[in-house]
Chains A and B, each alone.
Chain A
Amino acid sequence: MKKTKPIALAAAGLLLTSVLAACGGGDDDTSTGGGGGGGSTAQNDALTKVVNASDKKGGTLRIALSDDFDSLDPGDTYAALQWNFSRLYARALVTFKPVPGTGNLELVPDLATDLGKPSDDGLSWTYTLRPGLKYDDGTPITSKDVKYAVERSNYSKQLQTGPKYFKQYLADPDKYKGPYDDKADFKSIETPDDSTVVFKLSKKFAEFDYLASMPQTAPVPKAKDKGLDYKKAVVSSGPYKIDAYAVGKSLSMSRNPSWDQASDPIRTALPDKIEVQLGQDANDIDNRLLSGGLDLDLAGVGVQVPAQGKILGNTDQKKLSDVSTGGTLSYLALNQTVAPLDNIHCRKAVAYATDKLAAQTAFGGPVTGGQIATTIVPSTVSGYVKADAYPSGPDNHGDVAKAKEELAACGKPNGFDIVMSARSDRPKEMQMQAGLQQGFARVGIKVTFKNAPFSDYITTLHASPDYIHKNKIGIIFTKWGADWPSGFGFLSQIVDSRAIKPSGNSNYQETKNPEVDKLLDQAAETPDKAAREKLYAQIDQTVMAEAGIVPLVYSSQLLYRPASLTNVYVSPAYSGMYDYVHLGVK
């Protein structure tokens, strides 16, 4: 983890100061103290400090998005941008600390007064709501609404878009069917009074606060719930209420009169209005950002290729851009059941022979293609420890000599034939594949391709071990991003042997290491964060040691922040997009 200086509160303006103070301040926070209300900025400033720090209220934040929201319903969304953005109108129990740098990965209470309090046995987590919370219609927010929100989002058959972590971790002896179809009370979430909510788990889970940070814990009043149609009638618990939402077209929000700054240490709520245009042409969004017609691209995955050229080629515009790491890893999963990759030396040979630079170049080079990866857990996820099990040479083209050694050890000194897959509707992946193929050919590993389009790839074909075995696909390219920025969130779905499923599988390499499973369980039961992070590093190294995964690049993106945008910083907690709770306009 990067060495960082204590936060310089004075720099960020009065209001922000009070906000951060209320969070309890940080010993691990980052701020260089530059700026002081605007002035000149440099590229990548927003990675480490608040750019254009301001406490000026008013104005309209103009946002565009090339697609629609997957859903405005905080209980039915699985999009990173929406988990970030929904916090403007839906407050979860906890959230991520609104500061730049790695301090952003820290959880802080939001709707609750404190982080969750686990019981001694670790099987129940208790949250207490702040006093005086109200919805935009003036009705009070109670703990029952939080309970209801989790019930509907995790147990109903109608809301299927979001993840089901609560269902996975909460005890459920009665096979609860959700509030729409099941009239019985769900006993695993208790509300002893209107400000207390208690979650009863079936097994220990030290990272439960991360679940509580998901928009699914944002309260939904039962009386106002319309199920699948709630997205068009969302009741606000945040600083902005939804005035109009035209599906696929636009969203307008204005101040929520019932929201009280005193009850909310997280948000500054600077703009008077927020306007989101949906379904906009991606290149047009970039043009409008560059010409000042827009303040923010909500997607947060960076500008398109044409705009990249313009920005990087213009000194003034380059200063307004940030290359942020997205928290996503592109990697090769080496399936341990497909011969000859069932032999660890053959896997190591592949790991050494991998031309990572070719992959990085295919993805767009060091700026937008990502940084060369050497670990499974990316650098912006808590639990990252620098390591490089299979150094790929000084220029990252791979280590041919080592690869040949391992081939010999494997009994295949002249190489072998193997099938590789990638997503056929992703041109960059197709280029990457060709680049890697050449790299492997240097040591006699002859690669043929068996590709499929994205949707089939991640759901049915390549996500099915049967399919992998039948087609003898030894090298599976894929990308992975965590649902929450911890080693557990990142690793649990891709290295746990118990996560191997007949379809929708994401343990592509089929790591079946009891040691790994044990470490994951141990981490889930370890309350101490630092101790957990050590365990994650250990898991990472264990999987790397058996050469199940060849990390290629940690994704990165070129973000652009127009001069009109204030209080801008990159949020590692939200895939390296800007943190949306603080933005204001000049």
Chain B
Amino acid sequence: MGMGDKMPREELAGRVGSDEAHTAEPTSFLEVRDLRIHFPTDDGLVKSVDGLNFKLDRGRTLGIVGESGSGKSVTSLGILGLHNRRNSKVSGEIWLDGNEIVGSSPDQVRRLRGKNMAMIFQDPLSSMHPFYSVGSQIIEAYRIHNDVSKSVARKHAIDMLGRVGIPTPDKRVDDYPHQFSGGMRQRAMIAMALSCDPELLIADEPTTALDVTVQAQILDLLRDLQQEFNSAIIMITHDLGVVAELADDVLVMYGGNAVEYASVEDVFHGPLHPYTWGLLGSMPRMDRERTERLLPIKGSPPSLINLPSGCAFHPRCAFAELNGGKSETEVPLLRELAPGHKAACHLPLERRREIWDEEIRPKL
């Protein structure tokens, strides 16, 4: 499917804007507004995502980073509408190319899945069905959304496998996932995700299971494909290195919400949240020797049932005492501190810049 048959965004936006149920027209290709995803459990309400906002345009890549349990994967599954409505509560708005997903029927969302938005999962071996050949899994994905014959779909599958760099795709198409190497499997996974030219591609830790050289190949591939298809990409990772390679914007999540949201340059050169500093400090660097040891973030991720009061990060924050206990009582808002650079922290901005310049950056 080519780019030509996509409707101009203005038109779509205009149409949806007439719907009074929504507060405002979306201005971006993807807009997430006040997204909350809660899971009632026997122990209490797990607030995996709690009031998240972000935007993404076509042709651009958003990196979502954070530790396990920060809510990044839950967010991506929320966008795809994959949360079971029986055991989860999703609220807020997710606008994809003018379609609101949270309020749509499961079947409406299903029609968008795979076609308008697709996902690449972390572990390609467990994420592909072991009993079906790679080709048939791609064919299946393609034929749901395109009324074509099996042979046409098969040609398309071979074509896709070729495009993601799998050698002799016409032979490999009938192989099973376990017959592929890890990198090839991830390529096949990408081929499957891209088979319907999705406008939004969500990649959840796409390279975690792979060795470093293969990682780089996969990232190159994603970059190339993005240029080719003009997709919007959400790259979910805990690896800031990947983000640095690929992302245009970065969303740092902690405890189910964004703590910093900025362009990739700002995040790497002038991050304004202690948690981001921590992430940077614990990032291994390939390009040069570290002057000191890695700086891991002390403590462990917070409980999503009972988030710490005030700033959720304060129990682990080395600088929380610097503002007279405000961090422990008051939830900091995500505020725009510089054009296109938002962060949620009570520390005075100047003090943060000082700490970054004097204490953090030199150690990286």
Direct contact of A and B (CB under 8 A): no
